[in-house]
Amino acid sequence: MKKKIIWAIIIIVVIILVVLGVNKEDDNGKIKIGVLTPLSGPLAIAGEVQKNALAMVVKDNPNEKIELIYEDSRYDPKTSVSGYEALKMKGVKIIIADGSPVVAAVREKAVQDGIMIFAQSATTPAFTDDSPLTCRIGLTADILGGSISEYVNNTLKYKKIAMLSPNNEYGKVMIEQVKASFVELGGEVVGVEIYDQASGDLRSNILKLTEKQKDIDALVVINNITPEPMFNQLKEMGWSKPIVSDIWTITSPNLKNRTIAKDVKFVDYMYSPQADLNANSDAVNYSNTYTSNYNASPILLGALTYDSYNILSKAINEVGGNPKKIAEYLPKMAEFKGITGDVSFDGSCQNINKKLVWRKVNTDGTFANL
């Protein structure tokens, strides 16, 4: 009889712990939101951007219910898993995370653990699994890749392209999407060069492309890790054909001198780090304040992080810190007016707003709408 009572008590205690674990509030009643971002490595500056944006939003729109906890991803799958496990051990049930290599590495574990991953710029289809716990405010590779193909083929009238891209998750999925959509439109992909994302020396890859240059109408570049060496080496090695880019290459925090990318046309979100291109007054204020506070470009990643916090804060105020309840709430939420534009979520927690624009880099490194 005593054993039965003891087991009953144990079961009750376990149930209580599980219930408390679902909400994951600390002893002070705080709901812990993890931030899995590159605090070190080749994209550590991106982590700095996210930290700056979160510092701003916490000041602009404070929510006493929320506590932020940071872990390093290094923009690397293995480190991301370690960072995820560390956040899990600290009782985190909601994680703000950026980058395709990061979210692809932790997606399956998060779904199994009942933890919500709220991604910013991750484009990989590997993060699209119909689970409402894998949320994304940024747009997917099929949308970005399709936009590049349509603009190059239909607007610029280029029929033969080559591609230069890193061997990471983001680069691979962008190659797949651009190739598939461009060929479907009747175009031809003459060559694809894939390089080590950790390398700043792309000359052997560029050499192979320059040898085919006479048969190529334009080059599509994907490089959010080492864009500055890439543009310099393209010029040094005599690349003279038009260059088209994704947004993350041109607005990479590692591209400090944008004048070397002059005349490059790129697909972009409605939000721009250049305040005068924003019609949204909140976006203008964010852009100007970020520039003033940090003496750095207020790139899209920071703006998406700012919006991500505000969306999660709104959801937590409405339904609390239970990830499943937040996942149920977001598709029902009225269209969110963010600094990056209007945001609406479908049943699998993907942003369904697909508004994009095309811009070019001016001679002085500023942007202009096309």
Q: What is the pLDDT of residues 317-341, one digit of tens each?
A: 999 999 999 999 999 998 899 999 8
Q: Is residue 274 part of a domain?
A: no
Task: State which residues form the domain around 316.
Answer: 2-139+293-343
Does 64 share its domain with 76? yes
Q: What count of other Cβ atoms lies within 10 Å of the Cβ of residue 55?
A: 13
* Structure-token match 């070019």, residue found: 360
Q: Is residue 354 part of a domain?
A: no
Does 187 share its domain with 227? yes
Q: Is residue 349 part of a domain?
A: no
326 token code pair: 């937040």
Say which CATH number the domain at 51 has: 3.40.50.2300
Does 101 share its domain with 208? no
Cα–Cα dist 290/278, whole Å: 14
Q: Is residue 153 part of a domain?
A: yes
End-to-end CA distance of the chain: 79
Does 130 share its domain with 147? no
Task: DSSP letter for 39, please.
Answer: S
User: What pLDDT, on the 0 to 100 scale, is given for residue 24?
Assistant: 45
- For the entire predicted model, the pTM comes to 0.83
The number of angstroms, rounded, from the C-alpha of 144 to the middle of its chain's C-alpha atoms is 12
Amino acid letter at 303? Answer: A
Q: How many residues are listed for the chain in this entry?
A: 370
Does 148 share its domain with 247? yes
Cα Rg for the chain, rounded, in angstroms? Answer: 22
Q: Is residue 202 part of a domain?
A: yes
Does 43 share its domain with 127? yes
Coil, strand or helix at 268:
strand
Q: Which of 165, 171, 229, 237 is nearest to 206 (CA)?
A: 237
Cα–Cα dist 132/85, whole Å: 20
Concatenate the DSSP letters of all residues of 299-357 into one string: -HHHHHHHHHHHHHHHHHHHH-S-HHHHHHHGGGSPPEEETTEEE-B-TTSBB-----E
User: What pLDDT, on the 0 to 100 scale, is given for residue 18?
Assistant: 45
The answer for residues whose C-beta is within 8 angstroms of residue 348's C-beta and 6 or more apart is 128, 129, 130, 131, 132, 134
- Model pLDDT for residues 55-105, shown as the tens digit of each residue: 999 999 999 999 999 999 999 999 999 999 999 999 999 999 988 889 999
In our burial notation (b when 16+ CB lie closer than 10 A, e otherwise), range 257-288 reads: ebebbeebbbbbbbbbbbbebbebebbbebbe
- Phi and psi for 368 in degrees, rounded to 5? -140, 140
Asked whether the beta carbons of 37 and 327 are under 8 A apart, the reply is: no
Does 160 share its domain with 120? no
User: What pLDDT, on the 0 to 100 scale, is given for residue 23?
Assistant: 45
Does 115 share its domain with 199? no
Strand partners, 161: 189, 218
Cα–Cα dist 370/265, whole Å: 9
Q: Is residue 304 part of a domain?
A: yes
**Residue after which a domain boundary falls, among 268, 284, 303:** 268
Does 190 share its domain with 314? no
Q: Is residue 362 part of a domain?
A: no
Half-sphere exposure of 46 (CA within 13 A, CB side): 29
Residues of the chain with pLDDT under 70: 1-28
Does 166 share its domain with 126? no
263 token code pair: 């005349």
The answer for residues whose C-beta is within 8 angstroms of residue 289's C-beta and 6 or more apart is 56
Q: What count of other Cβ atoms lies within 10 Å of the Cβ of residue 16?
A: 10
Does 135 share its domain with 147? no
User: What pLDDT, on the 0 to 100 scale, is given for residue 15?
Assistant: 46
Q: Is residue 331 part of a domain?
A: yes
**Residue after which a domain boundary falls, among 268, 284, 304:** 268
* Structure-token match 């100007």, residue found: 288
Give the CA angle between residues 286, 292, 296 to the nearest 5°: 90
Does 244 share its domain with 321? no
User: What pLDDT, on the 0 to 100 scale, is given for residue 134?
Assistant: 93
Split into its structural domains, the chain has a count of: 2
